[in-house]
Amino acid sequence: MSDDGSLILKNASYIFVGSVVANIASFGFRLLLAREFGAEGFGTFSLGLMIVSVITTVCLFGVPDGLVNFIGKYRASEHPDRILGDVITGTVLTIGLSLLFLFTLRLFSSAISTEIFGSPELKQMMLYMSFVIPANVLVYLSSSIALGYEKGGLNTLIKQIFPRFFLIALAAIVIFFDGQLLDIGVAYSLSMWMAGIIGAYFSIKLLPIRNLDLAEYNPSKLLSFSAPLMLTASVGFLLNWTDTAIVGIFLNESSVGVYQASFLLGTNLSIFLTAIASSLYAKYSALLENKNYSELARRYQSGRRWAVLTAIAPTVYLTVFAGQSLSYLFGAEFSQGRVALIIIVFGQFLYIFLGPSTNLLKSADMSKFVFWTYLGGAAINTGLNIILVPRIGIVGASVGTATGLVVIKIAHYLKMTGIIEIKLFDKRFIPSISAIGTAVIPSYLLSPFISSPVRLIFHILVFSSVYCVCLYLFGGITDSEVKKIREFY
């Protein structure tokens, strides 16, 4: 295997494993929160998180994507002296916006909490969590710099590992000492600030400080590339959070908590595609710059195949055992979200099946197209939520979210086929279908014995083990691929 190929696989491995570990930590935090404070407390925190997440997206102005793109291009074209100018411009812009929105949120926190969501408890949560906005910006900027330099491990540490583990450690301390829900908001802010400071330190060490040359620097390139992506990312976050907001407006905080538990479980499937897409993002720009479309198609198809192979097992498990998963992980009151979970899982798998097309379109300077598709998907999502949530509750929210997501992904996939040639169905998927069908049989027979979180985890391990063994025996992965994976672990 070439040195370049090894680097891609290594970065993908770092990002994937780091994402899995970080999501386990994040999942553990949500479990602690849900089991300690119930559906209502979990819902209040989720609403606060939704608000600061949407604001953070606006403050980022699409700059992280711009930095990954231009750092990759400048390194490929041997112009590292231009990198620092983009970093300075992006940092000044995003940090300035984050401070402006911090004070704005604190000023309007009362109106948002009581007049929109009818939740006085939300006001205090927002006041504490407002301080996380500049920290979020630092984390995203520093992790994007690491990704631009193809440092997959560092990117994962800054963006995934540090924030999650700091958070779960501080949350555990709060719960151990019988802290209040608001203390969780403080813990969240502190964890992001610690991760942001560490990320900024490592980013400075990566950057070519001595090669700063502003004589020919043109900040308009970064801004013109990033601005449409800011709109895209904002619409994307609205796509992810519209359902939560509408559930909060039309229903109540308990419903938000139940829905968020289902949403959390279902959307965790996307970590498989996100890890692979992130590892390929910087390489997309270089391959497009050199017009190497055949290699681009090969890498895309390979990444899509691995995303499907890894996502199909949790997709089937969460579909077949939706009620048990929610009940024994979050608590009995959360089991009412099982239908919503199944719908979200179905939408997520279709999203994964079509592959990492969105980042490829961004690298191909099609950010405006990406924006309009996200806007259309958000409109579909919002419309369906407004119509369905008052009538069928959180099931309507899941239908709106899944539909909007799938429409966007289909549009991206069809546009991507104009750049590279890809087969929709890969015959190498067949062994995975046989393997998953085999794994379901013993797992279904054992399902009556699931009576506690420990037994549920054991059940998941049995299901996963049977799938992995059968996938290998049926030829879903080859000996050479197993050997390559083992080389990195």
pLDDT single digits (tens) 208-254: 776 555 555 567 777 777 766 666 666 766 667 788 889 988 988 88
The per-residue pLDDT for 287 is 76
Residue 416's domain spans which residues? 3-424
Is 438 a residue whose pLDDT tops 90?
Answer: yes
The CA angle 278-279-282, to the nearest 5 degrees, is 85
Is the distance from CB of 144 to CB of 226 less than 8 angstroms? no
The per-residue pLDDT for 229 is 65
Q: What percent of the chain has pLDDT over 70?
A: 85
Residue 482 domain flag = no
- Which of residues 334 and 477 earns the better pLDDT score? 334
What's the rounded Cα separation, in Å, for the pair 24 and 59? 28
What's the rounded Cα separation, in Å, for the pair 123 and 47? 10
Residue 456 domain flag = no
Residue 434 domain flag = no
Each residue of 325-359: b (16+ CB within 10 Å) or e?
bbbbbbbebbbbbbbbbbbbbbbbbebbbbbbbbb
- Which of residues 228 and 428 earns the better pLDDT score? 428
Rounded mean pLDDT of 306-333?
89
Please compute, for residue 411, the number of CA atoms within 13 A of its CA located in the half-sphere on the CB side: 16
- Which of residues 488 and 396 earns the better pLDDT score? 396
The per-residue pLDDT for 71 is 84
Return left, alpha or beta for 225; rule: phi > 0 is left, psi -120 to 50 is alpha, else beta.
alpha
Residue 444 domain flag = no
For the chain, what is the domain count?
1
pLDDT single digits (tens) 388-398: 999 999 999 99
Q: Is 213 helix (H, G, I), strand (E, B) or coil?
A: coil
Lowest mean pLDDT among 144-158, 215-229, 260-274, 319-333: 215-229
The per-residue pLDDT for 154 is 86
State the average pLDDT for the chain. 84
Residue 467 domain flag = no
Strands, E, within 135-283: which ranges?
none
What's the rounded Cα separation, in Å, for the pair 266 and 23? 12
pLDDT single digits (tens) 193-206: 999 999 999 988 88
pLDDT single digits (tens) 130-178: 999 999 999 999 999 998 887 877 888 898 889 988 998 999 899 888 8
Q: Which of 450, 183, 447 is nearest to 320 (CA)?
A: 447
Is the distance from CB of 191 to CB of 29 less than 8 angstroms? no
The per-residue pLDDT for 384 is 95
The per-residue pLDDT for 321 is 94
What's the rounded Cα separation, in Å, for the pair 124 and 1? 55
| Alpha-helix runs per DSSP H in 290-366 | 293-320, 322-330, 338-353, 357-363
Residue 143 domain flag = yes
pLDDT single digits (tens) 358-388: 878 877 778 788 888 888 988 999 999 999 9
Q: What is the pLDDT confidence band of residue 5, given thresholds at 50, 70 and 90?
A: very low
Is 454 a residue whose pLDDT tops 80?
Answer: yes
DSSP 354: T
The per-residue pLDDT for 324 is 92
Residue 174 domain flag = yes
Which range has highest mean pLDDT (5-9, 111-115, 398-402)? 398-402
Burial class (CB in 10 A: 0-12, 13-18, 19+), 78: exposed
Residue 127 domain flag = yes
